[in-house]
Amino acid sequence: MADDDDAARTALLPAATLPRGRTVQVGTAFAIAAVLMYFGGLFGIYLAERSVVRTAGLEWIPGSVDIQLTAPSIILWTYIISMPLAAWAVYAIRRDDRKHAYMAFALVLLLGAMTINQAAYNFDSIGAVADNSRAETLIFLIGGSHMVLTLVGMLFFLFTAFRALAGQFSSRYSDAVAAAAMFWYVIVFLYFIIWLLITVSK
């Protein structure tokens, strides 16, 4: 009889809430893999073309083009500063600290806009004196692709900020914010490679 009563009470209990799947993080991981393959191909083409031109005894970057180290280095440091801010957004949302999460979102978006503005100015100054060489084409292709990628990362953060504002992201479900931060780290890593490949080694 007691067993029947226990079974009846158990039947009246609501079903346990199933844990939410990490679909956003898995999807972001696939997107990151595609991005890395795309930029890996661009970097391979850049290195191969540069090797061919230099082997022929020609200048890879025309002498009239002066690629400065200062502006790209400032962009790199801006990206580096944005990394702990992206981590701060994840830390805050996992503790339901929405005030600081919104501050972190806003600062990441601000620094992202600063990098795009500085990169656009830098490419404009290069384009004013560059000729239609293979180096110019590849530099603008790689740099322009990274600017687009930065814009996508900013939109990702903006989307998660709006969802957090609506109350859909919290300590119970912070995977999307973590995915946005993970995507942002890849953006910073790729710019570091671009900085070494184009600005430093030329």
Q: In one letter, which amino acid is 131?
A: D
Q: Which domains are present in the chain? A: 25-200 (1.20.120.80)
First to last CA, the chain: 84
pLDDT band at 186 (very low <50, low <70, confident <90, very high): very high
Angle between helices 23-55 and 175-194 (to 10 degrees): 10
pTM of the model: 0.83
Q: Which residue has the higher pLDDT, 94 or 35?
A: 35
pLDDT per residue as tens digits for the range 109-153: 999 999 999 988 887 776 644 556 778 888 889 999 999 999 999
Average pLDDT, the chain: 83
**Average of per-residue pLDDT across 76-101:** 90
pLDDT band at 21 (very low <50, low <70, confident <90, very high): low
Q: Which residue has the higher pLDDT, 12 or 177?
A: 177
Which sign does the torsion angle of CA 51, 54, 58, 63 carry? positive
Cα–Cα distance measured from residue 3 to residue 185, given in angstroms and rounded to the nearest whole number: 56
Cα–Cα distance measured from residue 175 to residue 169, given in angstroms and rounded to the nearest whole number: 8
Does pLDDT of 188 surpass 60? yes
**Average of per-residue pLDDT across 44-69:** 81
